[in-house]
Structure formats: C-alpha cells, structure tokens
Chains A and B, each alone.
Chain A
Amino acid sequence: MNTTRNTQFTPNLDARHRRGFIWRILFMAALMTALVVLVALMFSIANDSFGYVVVINKIDPERLALNVINERLLTMPNTQSSADDTALAESITSDPNGIGFFGSAAYQQNRDALKPVAVDGITPDRETAVSQEYPLTRPLYLYTTGDILAQNQAANVFLNYLITHANEATEAAGYLPASEADLAQAQQNWLQANPTLPIPPGTWPAINPDGIDGRLTISGSSTLYPLTEQMLAQLAEAGFRAEVSNENAGSTAGLAAFCRGEADIAAASRPIQSDEIELCRENGRFPQEYPIAADALTIVANPALAFLDNVSQAELAQIFAEAETWQEINPAWPAAPIHRYIPGADSGTLDFFAQQVIQQELAALPTDDLVRILAANISVGRGRALEREQRFYQDKLVFDNPTAWNEACSQPKGARPSGCTAPPRTQAEIYDLVLQEVVQPDVVETFPLYDTLLKGAAIQHQMAAKYPNGSLQFRSWLTKDFITDPQSSTPEAAGVRTAILGSLWVIAITILFSFPVGVGAAVYLEEYAADNKLNRILQTNINNLAGVPSIIYGMLGLAIFVRALEMITSGALFGLVDSTASANGRTILSAGFTLGLLILPLIIINAQEAIRAVPTSLRQASLALGATQWQTTWHHVLPAALPGILTGAILAVSRALGETAPLVIIGASTFIVVDPSGPFSKFTTLPIQIYQWTARPQAEFRNIAAAAIIVLLVLLLALNATAVYLRNKYSTRM
C-alpha cells in the first residue's frame, strides 16, 4: 500500500514541480519582454539618429576653395600667366629671378635652358614618378562608362589595348608611365565592365584587335592627344578597322562632350569634377575612371638662381602665394624680388598645383575670401537680406548701399533690421552661410546605424557606384547645431531651438498654475475637509478626472482658453499682443493652462498621499501647543510632506512635458522659426515637432525626429534626476 502510493506520488510531485518551473520561466519571460521592448525602443531611436548619409553638393566646396587660391596665385605681384608652356619657358629663361612650373613634357622640350628644382629633396624623373615618391605627380585619365564598353566593341578593345600597352607607349610619347596602383585600378575597372570573359580571375586578358570594326569617338585633353593618336596608329597596324574620330578639344570640352553623349571616351588631364558627374548622370551616363599615364609637375627656375636646388612644399607655397622677395622665405637667400611665371586660370595644371601645394580647406579661408565667394554666387537681393539680418563687417557694407542702410537703421527700434545693432558675423558663421547658400549640401540617401555598422563596406561600394559625385559620410543628426538652430523646412538645417524654448515656456506656465492650486486642493482635502457629501464628491471627482483621456483636456482647452477666453489668452486685453502672433488664443498661456488642468488631478492625488503620510502625532503636538490649523499645516505638515509633494509634482510635470495630443488640438504652430518671447507668443513644443517630423514620409525627417526624441528624453531624465535630488536633499534636512 505504502509503496504503491509512493510510486504514484513521486512522479506526480515531480510533474507539479516541473510545471511550477516552466510557469516561473514564463512569468519571467513576460517581464523580460517589457524590458526587451525598452531596449528595442532605444535601439530604434539610436538607429535613426546616427548613420551614413550620402551628401551631394551643388557646388563642390573644394572647387570654391581652389578658385580662391587660383585667384590669389594669379594676382600675386610680379606674376605673369600664360596658357602656352613654351612662352612660360622662354620668359623664365630670360628672367634671372624667374621661377615657374608646368608639365614634365614641356620641361623635357626646354631642359637645356632651365633648371629643375627638387621638391622635398626629390627630383622628378621616371623612377620617382612611378613610385609616386615625387609629391607633384598627377595621373592622366580616360573616362568612359560600363554601358559603352558593353555595347561598343571598338571602344572596349581600344581601352583594353591602351591599358595593355600604355606604359610602353607613354615613354615614347614623352610621358611618365602610370603608377602600378593606378594601372591595376584601370585593369580592375575594365574587368568589372566585362564580367563574362572566359578567363581565370586575376589574369589580364590582352584582346587581339585584329578585325574589330565599328565606330569610336574620343575627345579631350591636348596633353593626352599625342598618346591616343599613337595608340590608334599602333592599333591600325594590328588590324583594328573601326571608324575612329579623335578630337583634340581640351579636358573640359572633352568631358562635356562625353557627358552629353557625343563621345565614347573622354581624355582628361585632371579628375572629373562633381558638376560634370552630375551632367553625365542627367544623361544616364555613369563615368568610370581609367588612369593610364602620369605627369610630374616640374618646378623650373632660371639657372641664375643658384641657391635654388631644393625646396620643401611649404617653401613652394610661400614662393608662389605669399612672399615678395626670396629673403622673406629664407634669410640666406637674396633680397631680390620673385618673378613668377605660371599657367593660366583655366589650366588643369594650375588647379593641380593649388590643390597639391597650397591645400587650403574652404572652412579655413579668411573672412574676406568667404565673403567674396558669397558675393560671387548669390543675388544682390539675397545678400542684402542677409546683411540686414547680420552684417559681414563692422565698418563696411558688402551688398547694401549706405543710403538705404542708414534709412533702414534710422527706423524705430522694433521695425529696424537686426543687422543694425548686432555684432558682425564671425568667420565660422560666414562659412556656415557659404555652405547653406552656395555649396547647398543635399542629403540624398540615409542609412540607419545598424546598416552603417554591419554593412558599411557594401554601402560604400554601392553608393560610390550610384552617386559618383556624392560623398558618403557618417552623420550624427543630433549635433550642437540641431539644438541651437530654429526650425527649417529642410531637414539637414532644421533644429529644435524653438521647440525646446516653447516646451520650457509651456511647462513654466503649467507649474505656476497647477502646483499651488494642486497642493492647495490636497491640503484642503487632507487637513480641512470634513467627511461630508460635498467633499466625498470632490474626492471622487478628482479621481475620475485623473482617468479622463488627455485629448478631452485638449478639447476643453480649445473651447475655453483658445475660444472663450481669447481676449485674455491672446494678450489683447492687456494690449500685449505679441508681434509674432496673429492675435488669437493659440498661445503659450492657453497651452500652459490646458496642461495645468490636465496634471492637476495627478498633483492633487500625489500631494494627498504625501500629506497623509505625515504622522498625526506631529499635528496633535502642534495643535496642543496652541497653533492654529494653518500654522500647523504651514510650519509642520507641509515641510514634512514636501519631498513627497515635490516628487509627485515633478512626475506630473514630466507627463506634461511629453504630452502631445492636447497641444495639437489647441493648435500649436507646426512651423515657426521665431523664438517665443512671452506667454502670448505662438509656440511649438518638442513632442509636437517629433509628431510632425514622424508623420513626414521623407527619411531625413525620420532621422531628425529620432534626434529630437533623444533631446526630449534627456530633458525628461534631467527633470526626474532633479526630483531625486530634491527628495534626497529635503529628506536629509528633516
């Protein structure tokens, strides 16, 4: 009997314990779900706040900086420029203080009369150019597209032949051979355009041009023209029968013809520029770059300048862009003036020199240059508006004429432009303005943080092919500018300054209204109210109000504060209508009162609990000493209950800070760039901005919504931390 019971009982007990264990895990899993959601929420916010973006600039900022430097080079004293390298060489030969630079081919032609100057101790020759040791080596390019190579057999074979034989041919034509890396890159590009070749990977297929026909159009750089001509002659010998047109048009014209679809291959002595890529893209062409030869920019001087054998890049920059005499650069050198002979403004060589030697970022340019860029690229009207907003120089005007300016500034205080009194813009501010007005960076594609971190390489690859003129950058949408800038219709420039100020104003009104009233009501209910019907109704009513959806409070606010009390809430009654407001009741005051009513029940209930927790003995002691009811409450009950009251009130205020629906209903402004100036201003708040931005379909608005959420959560965190601090401070004092 006993044993049978045991055999049944034990497995039964085991089953019960097993069940208990499984359920315990389930209960825990439920709790964990909530925490996982919290993590997912934080993840999705961070995911959208940071990540890769593809930015396309309307004008390349490097180009702007380059133009400024070119301008500076060309306007230096004792500087002559010429598009003709031979003329430059002659001038330097005949001037004992002459110095200049041009391509290696031109130097080779005039090497007897000129003295080459080593840069950083390295003389330009074949060896140093191939190893890229010589700092002023630049590649020469052919441009075509994958589509052309796939469709035009003649172009494909021409390029294949060129890549195969380039280094033999370049020397014969007086060029330097392309570097190993460049040639490997060219081969790689060609192989990618020919994915179906039946060859083992990693080997280079030299295609026999014999018998290939079709049409081939080449256009471009005069520097490269002899090379392409020689290649075509060799091809013709090998049996290449395509109908070829090779045009010597210059890099810029050649690239333009190529992008317009008039040429199959463009030859260029400089890399393709952002605006040219954009032109190509508009015509459905995605240019591929083939570096096929190199050129060493050679610094040449009159042989009379015996001291000038070797210069550093820094000295080179000084020679051409700063100093007037040799002595300024090196005290050991003579005090004679420097006579410069440089290529003309449209020359790719000058660009290359400026880029390589002077190397100045747009952001680092001085104010004068930035203002000049601005003046050259925006309309006078726009410039005048900007100047009236805030001027560029303390002592002179750039866009406005003095008469109109003085007239505008003699107006009364409210009506005159802010530029009259504000300090002039700083260099950093003008740089921002140049970015905004001239460079106009546009985010064309964004990636979440998750993809950026895990698929970064694939994205870089894809985007390089999709937007050759775009730059892929890691962007944090939450920046200092995001917090201090006002709202804007372009997400890249938008900020939350107006919204933060709006939120703070509204919360201030809410606290001023609901804290005293709420604590007063709690004191009444706990300390004064007799247990009669009225007070029971009062208590029930407060509990019920706490359960009313916030949206109903919004409707209450709309009907009472915005409509019925419009005279008061718009400030019209006090003659205080804000200049930015369109005199209606949709103001900070209305919003503050509405949210005040909303959190009033919460404050009352929390304060009641805190007051109830104060021991009765404290009250009795006070009353026994002859204190009145109010003296007891004010001096004993309230101080004792204060930590609890404050904690409850701050929790209620954080609820108000995050509240959105009632403010949408009472009519927060959706687009407002002016800071709120008082309780009668129009307003927007952080949650409203988040709502507006989340509701937009464009991805970038999602990004700034996420960034704004971080700002909101940080504000809430700060508020709650204050609650904890206050509670600790006051409870230790007691």
Chain B
Amino acid sequence: MAAHSQAAPVITTADTPQTLRKKRRWGETIIQASLFICGMLSIFTTVAIVFILVSESVNFFTRQQWENTNKRITAVVDETAVQIETGASGAAISAGDVIRLGEEIMVVTGVDGNIILVDRGAQETTAVAHQPGVELFRGRRVNPLAIITTTKWAPQLNQFGIWPLLLATLMVSTIAMFVALPLGLATAIYLSEYASERVRGTLKPLLEILAGIPTVVFGYFALTFVTPLIRAIFGVDSVQIFNVLSAGIVVGILIIPLVSSMSEDALHAVPRALREAAYGLGATKLETSLRIVVPAALSGITAAFVVSISRAVGETMIVAIAAGSGPKNFELGKDGLFSYVLNPLLSAETMTGHIVRISGGDLSYDSIDYNSLFAIGLMLFVMTLLLNIVARRFVARYREVYE
C-alpha cells in the first residue's frame, strides 16, 4: 500500500493539452467587450450632451427670424428674374441681407434705389413667380455680441441679453457660498479636529440626512419658511415674495454637507505628524487646527469650495420655486445698480430657473425659445465643467503631497 502510494503519478499524453498556448475563450471575450461597452456609454453620454448643446446652440445663432420690412414688390417677378422692384417705403435693405418673398428665400447681392438685385432660390427653396403687392421679409439672426452687450432677455421680442439670467445665477451662488463656506468649513474642522468618535458617529449621519433631502423639498422650505422669515426681518414692503436672498440662503444650506464632507476628507488626509509637531511646540488645539492643519489641507478645501460653486450654479428647483419667475431685465445707468440690479431682496430668474419654467410649459420644438434654452444650457455646462476640472486639479494636488 505504502509503496504504491509513493509511486509517481502516471501522466499520459492524452491528459495534457497539446500545447500550453493560451486558449481563446470566446465567452470571456464577449463578456469583456460588453463590459467595455458599458464603460463607453459614459463617453457616449458626454458626446451626446456636448453634441446636443452645441448643435442646438448653433441653431440658436443661425436660425432666421423673419421680420416684416413693410416693403412690397411693385411689379411681377417671374421665376428667373434677378431684379426686384419694390416700393420706397419700409425698412432699408442692403447687400448681403437674406429676404423672403412668400415661401422663397433670396440673397441680396446689391441695391440700386428701388431695385434689389438678388440670387434666387437660396436655402433650398425653389424660385417661383411672385405677384405685385407681396410683402418682403428680412431674415435676422441672433447677434452673438448682443448676448453680452445687452441687458434684456425677452426671446419673444428678439432680445437675448444674458446678463439678467447670469447675474441672478451669480447672486444666488454668491449668497449660497457666504452661507455654506463658513458653516461647512467650521463643521468640518469641528468634526475632524474636535469631535470624539461617538459625537462624530451620531452627528455625521444627521448631516447626511440633510444631504439626502430632495431639492424640491428645500425649495418648498425656502418659500414657506425662509422667505416669511426674511420678510419679517426686512419688512414686507421691501422684500418680494420671490426673492434671490431666500433662494441663495437655502442653496447654501443645501451645499453645507458637500462642503463639510469634502473639507473633512482633506483635513483627515493631513498626516498626524504635523499636528503632533505643532503640539510639541506648545501650540493649542485651535492654533494647530487653524494655522497648521487648515493651511496644509488648503488645496482640498479649495476643491470643496469650487465644487460647491459648481453645484450652486447648477441648482435648479430651489431657485425655480423661490427666486422668481421672470428675468429681471434692466437698463444700465437707468436702474440703480444696488437698489435694483443687484438687490437680493427682489425677485430674479436664474439660468436654471428660466430653463425649467420655459420647458415646463408647452414648448414647441421648432422655436427660438427652444433653441435659446440649449444656448443657456451650454453656458451652464461649460461653467460647471470648468469649475469641476479646476476642483479636480486641487484634489490631485493634496493627494500628491500626502498620499
């Protein structure tokens, strides 16, 4: 028995593979490929977001708005004519303009008194004959420059100055940061430097509850609790029912958990040795926290701030409910800068609030309104993306230093 067991196992050639080359497993390949596709879906998402925002924004800038020139043609225009005779009244037309007669679109090549020289059948329309008395429409496009040089947003009136929306967004974000930064950072310092494990264990979940409450609930809170409070403090007459201050404060409250948890991570990453060195030199706990730990974690804390700004800029439901419904159009020089334009006690519509309000109604897909929303969306996307990239740089920096 014993001898038998000691005998070397017999291996026949039939048991061993012919070669030791890696076997091609098709199942594995297919699984790997489908997992890869899952991963790639996020790339598609990004590409789709960028493509849609950009293409609709391009539509916004290239879309022709037809305005009546009050000019009429005075003689019959047949299919081939390149000269159009018009009445003298109405808006002036110059070379390079695009005009429309009935369904046909033409490009103006020159003007000679009441005679307009045109290229017929532009923009895939067909040249047809036109009878006298037909009105001339001139195509107008949104002027990209006017977006940042004018101060009124009224798509129906062809006014596309972004400032009222942008300023409201910036005001809400600024107020939110004034609320969230001190409170969030102080909370982080307390939790990371002062609180015992037990206190941390009970208080942190409460902060997480705050973070888990849907934003629409915060919007309700802003309108039914914070706004009446503000109106009680500043007077009902000077504070409108919808106001930027209330929305800003509540957005700030919303992002306190974000600021505190990111800052706390950064503070935690500071090595213990640094603190112990400070204590060894006789520093108090406060001095260690504020002069050693916070500066050491500064890049992480900055990242928290930047991410928070991005979150505040993109926040929608609170501002849609509490900040106001209608862009606060203004005229520079005429309206007081602090009494009206930047007054947080008045109502104003932010970029996100505008998108939600306009798209909440019956929005027709083929309208300048629809396109303009995507232009605002593109701006929002670029702003938040830049902020997030900046934040990631800061995070990467503190990781490099301490890990």
Interface size class of A (residues with CB under 8 A): 35 or more
| A694 interface neighbour in B27, B28, B45, B220, Cβ under 8 Å | B220
List chain A residues, Cβ under 8 A from B277: none
List chain B residues, Cβ under 8 A from A113: none
Complex CA distance for A665 and B352, rounded to whole angstroms: 11
| B210 interface neighbour in A37, A713, A720, Cβ under 8 Å | A37
Complex CA distance for A523 and B285, rounded to whole angstroms: 44
Contact B28 A630 (CB under 8 A): yes
List chain A residues, Cβ under 8 A from B260: 34
Contact A547 B41 (CB under 8 A): no
Contact A549 B352 (CB under 8 A): yes
Interface size class of B (residues with CB under 8 A): 35 or more
| A600 interface neighbour in B41, B218, B285, B307, Cβ under 8 Å | B41
A window 13-69: CB within 8 A of B: 16-17, 19-20, 23-24, 26-31, 33-35, 37-38, 40-41, 43-45, 48
A661 close to B (CB within 8 Å): yes
A363 close to B (CB within 8 Å): no
Beyond A41-B225, A563-B365, whether A600 also contacts B186 by CB under 8 A is no
Beyond A19-B286, A555-B373, A691-B321, whether A34 also contacts B189 by CB under 8 A is no
With CB as the reference atom, state the residue of chain B lying closest to A29.
Answer: B186
List chain A residues, Cβ under 8 A from B36: 524, 528
With CB as the reference atom, state the residue of chain B lying closest to A23.
Answer: B286
Contact A545 B46 (CB under 8 A): yes
List chain A residues, Cβ under 8 A from B52: 555-556, 559-560
Beyond A44-B224, A544-B389, A604-B42, whether A661 also contacts B317 by CB under 8 A is yes
List chain A residues, Cβ under 8 A from B311: 549
Beyond A538-B39, A555-B355, A630-B31, whether A33 also contacts B380 by CB under 8 A is no
Contact B314 A551 (CB under 8 A): yes
A543 close to B (CB within 8 Å): yes
Contact A20 B284 (CB under 8 A): yes
Interface stretch among B13-21, B75-83, B125-133, B201-209? B201-209
List chain A residues, Cβ under 8 A from B49: 548, 552-553, 556
Complex CA distance for A490 and B321, rounded to whole angstroms: 21
Contact B221 A31 (CB under 8 A): no
List chain A residues, Cβ under 8 A from B206: 34-35, 38
A541 close to B (CB within 8 Å): yes
List chain B residues, Cβ under 8 A from A27: 186-187, 189-190, 194
List chain B residues, Cβ under 8 A from A37: 210, 253
List chain A residues, Cβ under 8 A from B320: 661, 664, 691
Contact A16 B220 (CB under 8 A): no
A95 CB, min distance to chain B CBs, angstroms: 68
| A31 interface neighbour in B53, B186, B359, Cβ under 8 Å | B186
A592 close to B (CB within 8 Å): no
List chain A residues, Cβ under 8 A from B53: 552, 555
Contact B225 A30 (CB under 8 A): no
B145 close to A (CB within 8 Å): no
A658 close to B (CB within 8 Å): yes
Complex CA distance for A690 and B218, rounded to whole angstroms: 11
Main secondary structure of the interface of B (DSSP, over half): helix
B86 close to A (CB within 8 Å): no
Contact A34 B210 (CB under 8 A): yes
A window 628-652: CB within 8 A of B: 628-630, 651
A122 CB, min distance to chain B CBs, angstroms: 55
Contact B359 A665 (CB under 8 A): yes
Complex CA distance for A30 and B189, rounded to whole angstroms: 10
Contact B28 A628 (CB under 8 A): yes
Beyond A34-B183, A41-B221, A630-B31, whether A547 also contacts B207 by CB under 8 A is no
Complex CA distance for A516 and B314, rounded to whole angstroms: 28
| A521 interface neighbour in B35, B215, B218, Cβ under 8 Å | B35
| B48 interface neighbour in A560, A690, A695, Cβ under 8 Å | A560
A138 close to B (CB within 8 Å): no
Interface stretch among A398-406, A429-437, A704-712? A704-712
B300 close to A (CB within 8 Å): no
List chain B residues, Cβ under 8 A from A661: 215, 316-317, 320, 352, 356
With CB as the reference atom, state the residue of chain B lying closest to A657.
Answer: B214
Contact B214 A541 (CB under 8 A): no
Contact B257 A687 (CB under 8 A): no
A window 591-633: CB within 8 A of B: 597, 600-601, 604, 628-630
B48 CB, min distance to chain A CBs, angstroms: 6
List chain A residues, Cβ under 8 A from B43: 537-538, 541
B34 close to A (CB within 8 Å): yes
Contact B209 A687 (CB under 8 A): no
Contact A665 B355 (CB under 8 A): yes
List chain B residues, Cβ under 8 A from A360: none
A91 close to B (CB within 8 Å): no
Beyond A34-B207, A694-B223, whether A687 also contacts B35 by CB under 8 A is no
B3 close to A (CB within 8 Å): no
B32 close to A (CB within 8 Å): yes
B144 close to A (CB within 8 Å): no
Complex CA distance for A348 and B178, rounded to whole angstroms: 70
List chain B residues, Cβ under 8 A from A720: 212
Q: What does the 1/0 interface line of A450-461 toward B look like (CB < 8 Å)? A: 000000000000
List chain B residues, Cβ under 8 A from A535: 39
Contact B225 A26 (CB under 8 A): no
Beyond A17-B284, A549-B380, A551-B356, whether A31 also contacts B190 by CB under 8 A is yes
Beyond A37-B210, A664-B359, A691-B317, whether A545 also contacts B42 by CB under 8 A is yes
Complex CA distance for A541 and B52, rounded to whole angstroms: 17
List chain A residues, Cβ under 8 A from B374: 555, 559
Q: What does the 1/0 interface line of A568-609 toward B look like (CB < 8 Å)? A: 000000000000000000000000000001001100100000
Contact B217 A664 (CB under 8 A): no
A355 close to B (CB within 8 Å): no
List chain B residues, Cβ under 8 A from A709: 217, 220
- Counting chain A CB atoms within 10 Å of each CB, the highest count among B45, B48, B374 belongs to B45
B window 138-188: CB within 8 A of A: 182-187
List chain A residues, Cβ under 8 A from B46: 541, 544-545
Contact B187 A34 (CB under 8 A): yes
A282 CB, min distance to chain B CBs, angstroms: 31
A558 close to B (CB within 8 Å): yes
Contact B190 A30 (CB under 8 A): yes
B399 CB, min distance to chain A CBs, angstroms: 13
A220 close to B (CB within 8 Å): no
Complex CA distance for A669 and B78, rounded to whole angstroms: 50
A144 close to B (CB within 8 Å): no
| B310 interface neighbour in A17, A24, A547, A597, Cβ under 8 Å | A547
| B216 interface neighbour in A28, A548, A660, Cβ under 8 Å | A660
Contact A31 B213 (CB under 8 A): no
B256 close to A (CB within 8 Å): yes
A422 close to B (CB within 8 Å): no
Q: What does the 1/0 interface line of B22-58 toward A look like (CB < 8 Å)? A: 0001011001101110111111011011001100100
Q: What does the 1/0 interface line of A701-734 toward B look like (CB < 8 Å)? A: 0100110010011001000100000000000000
Contact A630 B42 (CB under 8 A): no
Contact A33 B317 (CB under 8 A): no
A696 CB, min distance to chain B CBs, angstroms: 11
Contact B39 A687 (CB under 8 A): no
Contact B207 A551 (CB under 8 A): no
Complex CA distance for A608 and B213, rounded to whole angstroms: 25
Interface residues of chain A, those whose CB is within 8 Å of chain B, are: 16-17, 19-20, 23-24, 26-31, 33-35, 37-38, 40-41, 43-45, 48, 516-518, 520-521, 523-525, 528-529, 535, 537-538, 540-545, 547-556, 558-560, 563, 597, 600-601, 604, 628-630, 651, 654, 657-661, 664-665, 667, 670, 687, 690-691, 694-695, 702, 705-706, 709, 712-713, 716, 720
Q: Given contacts A520-B39, A549-B380, A705-B220, list 6 more A-B pairs with CB under 8 A.
A: A44-B220, A516-B38, A521-B35, A541-B46, A553-B49, A628-B28
Q: Name 17 interchain pairs, CB-CB below 8 A, sorted by A.
A: A16-B286, A20-B287, A31-B191, A44-B224, A545-B45, A551-B356, A554-B359, A600-B42, A604-B42, A651-B212, A660-B317, A667-B359, A670-B360, A694-B220, A713-B213, A713-B217, A716-B214
